Amino acid sequence: MDEIKVPSTRYHKIVNLLCIIILTGTLVFLVTNWTMIPDQIPGHYDSAGVINRWTSKSGLWIVYFVGIIMFAGLSVIEHFPKTWNTGVAITKENQKHVYQLIKGMIVTLKLCITTIFMFLTLYTTLMINLPKWFTPLFLIITFGSMIVYGIMIYRAR
């Protein structure tokens, strides 16, 4: 097959914009509140969301930059459809639809990841325990969206 171009839909554009807004908002939040953040902040949460390790506030930058790297990495992958593992045979008939669905899954995953890192930064900065629903909810949303897209891709074959 020739060069594959998957045009961005309105959904793709809106989700990518939301990701950029979340990442920018997180950066602005960190910069504007930096002097008020204590030197020691939560460094890890257990499975119940309870703080179980403390670290330097500079650790917030690690969390933020990991989120940026994840977003950037998925953004690069988003533009190279030939690298995508579709899980189904690609034909001339299903190519456009399958690739649109996979691109939708990638941008949805980017939104999940940027939102997770924003929540982690916010809760860590405010030095409060993560809500008990945090881990299960984000796992359900992240893997649930991948399952839904997987089913749609399978049906599009």
Please report whether residue 1 resides in a domain: no
pLDDT, position 2 = 62
Q: Please, what is the average pLDDT of the chain?
A: 92
Residue 34 tokens read as 């930096």
How far apart (Å, rounded) are the C-alpha atoms in residues 46 and 10?
Answer: 38
Per the structure, the count of domains in the chain is 1
How far is the CA of 62 from the CAs of 8, 23, 55, 136, in angstroms? 31, 13, 12, 23
Angle at 26 between CA 23 and CA 28, to 5 degrees: 110
Q: Give the 3-state secondary structure of residue 56.
A: strand
Query: Helix (H, G, I), strand (E, B), or coil: what is residue 43?
Result: strand
For 87-110, write each residue's pLDDT tens digit: 888 888 988 999 999 999 999 999
Distance CA 22, CA 121 (A): 11
Does residue 124 belong to any structural domain of this protein? Answer: yes
In a domain, 2, yes or no: no
The verdict on residue 49 lying in a domain is yes
Chain centroid to CA 51: how far?
A: 23
In angstroms, the CA 146 to CA 152 distance is: 10
With respect to residue 63, please indicate whether it lies within any of the assigned structural domains: yes
pTM: 0.87
The predicted pLDDT at position 50 comes to 85
Q: What pLDDT sits at residue 82?
A: 86
Is 3 a member of any domain? no
**Where does the chain have alpha helices with state H?**
10-33, 59-78, 95-126, 134-156
Average pLDDT of the residues in 12-38: 96
What's the confidence (pLDDT) of residue 47? Answer: 81
Q: Is residue 27 part of a domain?
A: yes
> Phi, psi (5° rounding) for residue 24?
-65, -45
Structure tokens at 148: 């839904």
Domain hosting residue 24, numbered range: 8-154
In a domain, 144, yes or no: yes
